Amino acid sequence: MVKHIDPDMTLLKMPSLKAVKSFVAAAKYQSFTRAAEALCVTQAAISRQIRELETYLGVDLFKRVGRAVELTEAGSIFFDAAQLSFVNISQAAERIRTNNAGKRTLTLCCSPAFSALWLAAKLPGFFTRNTDIDLNLVTTQNFLSMEPGVTPDIFITKMARIQDGYRSYPLFHDVIYPVCTPRYKEEHPELSSLEGLRDGVLLNLSPYGRSQVAEHVDWGVWLAYHDVDIEKRPHDSPHVFNANDYNLVISMVLTHQGVALGWNHLVATLIENGTLIRPIEEEVVLHESQHYLTFREDRINDDACCRLRDWILAQFS
């Protein structure tokens, strides 16, 4: 006996996925030509698929602006939903594909500074011991607003709570001290005092980039902790350089261009191998705040995810 199945109106009413894929590519690149190149088809094929979709929906999805295209209001609404759907499908397919290949792909989210100055040097040791794990790294300065479809297994942040469904483990307090190269210190012996440090070339992380490491400590704040007023720098003092990229600030320190504030967890390895030194011993410890590892609660029985979590925790134990 054959059981009768009523028509699935949701599936029947869906537009062609091929046409939607062409639409998403055109919207992403704002060009039919670039969309065709991205999908390895002809521009005529892209135009045909988008006309089919517009006919089906009964609205224009694009408006032409010179050689480029822009989304209409209807196009923007449809793009938000379509892009998220394709991201979810792609990630699910990738997880299945990699699991079938014997690999488990984990997503770790952290700041650009943490990834470049802490994680990169330590990952070879993790991969050597965990050959069955692939890592998808997402760097951001805004942990509260992730891209559609991105759901990290683990965050490394300064926030104890990011969203529901995660558990946080405390890692460390911020310890902050000046750093420079041995050569720079030798050329500037005045750096041995707080006043000499204040009056030299200071490389500073601006407020626009402070979320990478610590949101409320710059040279003015750090010196004030030690009762030194940065406003008393002589008018003929060298420059103060401000940037919102901590990786750039450290790169400038490494090329002997001045002194920067070093966050211990980011510069400790460079201190240990002698690449950088502390020109003075003073430091600031922020006991009232911590950094955290935040772990997806639904991964508690996921062996690979737990191994990554435990490895990171062990680095700070």
Give φ, ψ of 65 to 5 degrees: -130, 95
Q: What is the 3-state secondary structure (H, E, C) of 230-268?
A: HHHCCCCCCCEEEECCHHHHHHHHHCCCCEEEEEHHHHH
Q: Is the pLDDT of residue 207 over 80?
A: no
Query: How does pLDDT run across 26-74, given as a tens digit for each residue?
Result: 999 999 999 999 899 999 999 999 999 999 999 999 998 877 889 999 9
Token pair, residue 295, equals 């772990």
Name the segment(s) of the chain with CATH classification 1.10.10.10: 9-99
247/212 Cα distance (integer angstroms): 10
Share the mean pLDDT of the chain.
Answer: 88
CB 218 within 8 A of CB 178: no
Q: Is the pLDDT of residue 315 over 70?
A: yes
Name the segment(s) of the chain with CATH classification 3.40.190.290: 103-316
178/273 Cα distance (integer angstroms): 16
Q: Is the pLDDT of residue 216 over 90?
A: no
Residue 208 bridge partners (DSSP): none
User: Could you confirm whether domain 9-99 is CATH 3.50.50.60?
Assistant: no
Query: How does pLDDT run across 269-278, given as a tens digit for each residue?
Result: 999 999 999 9
Alpha-carbon distances, residue 256 vs 114, 179, 186, 270, 272 (angstroms)? 22, 11, 11, 14, 18
Find tokens 């008018």 and name the residue. 235
CATH of domain 103-316: 3.40.190.290
Q: Please state the rounded mean pLDDT for residues 95-118.
A: 81
Number of CB atoms found within 10 A of residue 206's CB: 13
Q: Please state the rounded mean pLDDT for residues 98-118.
A: 83
Q: Is the pLDDT of residue 211 over 70?
A: no
Percent of residues, the chain, with pLDDT higher than 90: 67
Task: Give the pLDDT score at 84.
Answer: 84
- 291 falls in which pLDDT band (50, 70, 90)? very high
Query: How does pLDDT run across 137-182, given as a tens digit for each residue?
Result: 988 877 666 665 678 999 998 888 888 899 999 999 999 999 999 9
Q: Is the pLDDT of residue 83 over 90?
A: no
